């Protein structure tokens, strides 16, 4: 065998990710946030008149993704900035000097973990919402319906992409507080800006992550003017790719 490769770096990253508590806290918090929101929404609709539709229940019970995206985004940031803050990065780069290999391993491991947790959280939100309306006149939203299943799956994909945007921003900024601040800013500020444009804001808004999540990805049908759910989800993956590529360029050329 002629030297280490991606496989070895990925194994290192997997051990590193699972051996700090913050990973587990953030993952559990993301699932709990979505399940809690789903249950809350379901309970709220029980006494609602007129009787809510299945689509309404689903759209709203996935609302916990707003919190989950911040938690999983922070997870992605910390995978990188946690190393810069502690000096661990020097151990990592001494073990694997090819920096693009390190970043690729982080993207694969973090992306896989965040996608898994994101899907779990999304299903938890859906399930909690459905359980909370059991025995009422509100029609159940079955995962057998393509529109329902798609919304739940794409919400998970959105959450995984958010974590990778976090990895990219973390690699660019290198400081935990500044990187998490930047990520949160990028999530919320464009939405406020899009709002300033009034009616024509939708032209901009359909490219804004949070608006895509709430109006295109986590709903049974996108509101007029926004892209279809899968287009929005792909757009998020595109943002993540841009963030990671920028981070990779800087990682290669800066001193550690």
Partner 1 sequence: MIELRELTKRYGRRVAVDGLSVQVRPGVVTGFLGPNGSGKSTTMRMILGLDAPDHGQALIGGVPYAKVAWPLRTVGALLDAGAFHPGRSARAHLTALAASNDIPGARVEQVLRTVGLSGAATRRAGTYSLGMRQRLGVAVALLGDPGVLLLDEPVNGLDPEGIRWIRDLLRGLAAEGRTVFVSSHLIAEMALTADRLVVIGRGRLLAETTVAELSAGADSLEDAFFRITSQATDYRGVGAS
The Cα–Cα gap between 128 and 109 comes to 28
- Tell me whether residue 23 or residue 220 sits nearer to partner 1 (CB atom): 23
Give the residue from 163, 151, 130 showing the smallest Cα distance to 30. Answer: 163
DSSP letter, residue 96: -
Asked if 75 contacts 161 with a C-beta cutoff of 8 angstroms, the reply is: no
Please choose, out of 26-34, 36-44, 87-95, 211-219, the segment that lies near partner 1 by the rule CB under 8 A. 87-95
User: Is 11 an interacting residue with respect to partner 1 (CB under 8 A)?
Assistant: yes
Q: Which is nearer to partner 1, 9 or 54 (CB)?
A: 9
Candidates 43, 44, 55, 98; binder of partner 1 (CB under 8 A) is 98
Binding of partner 1 at residue 49 (CB under 8 A)? no
Q: What is the DSSP string of 99-151?
A: HHHHHHHHHHHHHHHHHHHHHHHHHHHHHHHHHHTTTSSSPP--TTSHHHHHH
Q: Is 94 in the site for partner 1 (CB under 8 A)?
A: yes
* Binding residue (CB under 8 A) for partner 1 from 93, 231, 237, 241: 93
Q: Which of 115, 117, 139 is nearest to 32 (CA)?
A: 117
Least Å from the CB of residue 10 to partner 1: 9
The CB-of-89 to partner 1 minimum distance in angstroms stands at: 8
Asked whether position 237 contacts partner 1 by CB under 8 A, the answer is no
Site for partner 1 contains 21 (CB under 8 A): yes
100 lies in the site for partner 1, by CB under 8 A: no
- What gap in Å lies between CA 50 and CA 88, rounded to an integer? 57
95 in contact with partner 1 (CB under 8 A): yes
- Contact pick of 28, 91, 200, 203 for partner 1 (by CB under 8 A): 91
* Maximum CA extent, the chain: 69
When asked if residue 140 is in the footprint of partner 1 (CB under 8 A), the reply is no
Compute CA 170 distance to the chain's CA centroid, rounded to the nearest angstrom: 15
Phi and psi torsions of 235, nearest 5°: -60, -40
Residues that bind partner 1 (CB under 8 A): 1-4, 8-9, 11-13, 15-16, 19-22, 82-83, 86-88, 90-98, 255-256
């Amino acid at each position: 065998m002629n030297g280490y490769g991606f496989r070895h770096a990925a194994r290192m990253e997997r051990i590193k990710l699972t051996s700090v508590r913050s990973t587990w806290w953030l993952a559990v918090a993301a699932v709990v946030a979505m399940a809690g929101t789903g249950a809350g929404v379901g309970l709220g609709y029980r006494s609602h008149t007129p009787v809510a539709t299945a689509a309404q229940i689903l759209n709203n019970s996935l609302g916990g993704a707003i919190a989950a995206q911040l938690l999983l985004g922070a997870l992605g940031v910390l995978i990188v900035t946690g190393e810069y803050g502690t000096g661990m990065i020097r151990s990592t780069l001494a073990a694997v000097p090819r920096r693009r290999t390190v970043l690729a391993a982080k993207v694969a491991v973090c992306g896989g973990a965040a996608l898994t947790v994101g899907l779990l959280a999304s299903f938890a939100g859906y399930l909690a919402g459905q359980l909370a309306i059991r025995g009422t006149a509100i029609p159940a939203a079955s995962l057998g319906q393509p529109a329902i299943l798609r919304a739940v799956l794409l919400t998970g994909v959105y959450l995984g992409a958010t974590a990778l945007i976090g990895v990219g921003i973390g690699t660019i900024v290198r400081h935990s507080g500044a990187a998490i601040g930047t990520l949160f800013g990028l999530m919320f500020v464009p939405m406020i800006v899009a709002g300033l444009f009034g009616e024509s804001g939708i032209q901009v808004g359909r490219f804004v992550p949070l608006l895509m999540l709430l109006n295109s990805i986590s709903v049974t049908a996108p509101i007029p003017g926004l892209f279809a759910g899968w287009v929005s989800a792909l757009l998020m993956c595109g943002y993540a790719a841009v963030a990671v590529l920028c981070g990779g360029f800087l990682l290669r050329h800066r001193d550690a």
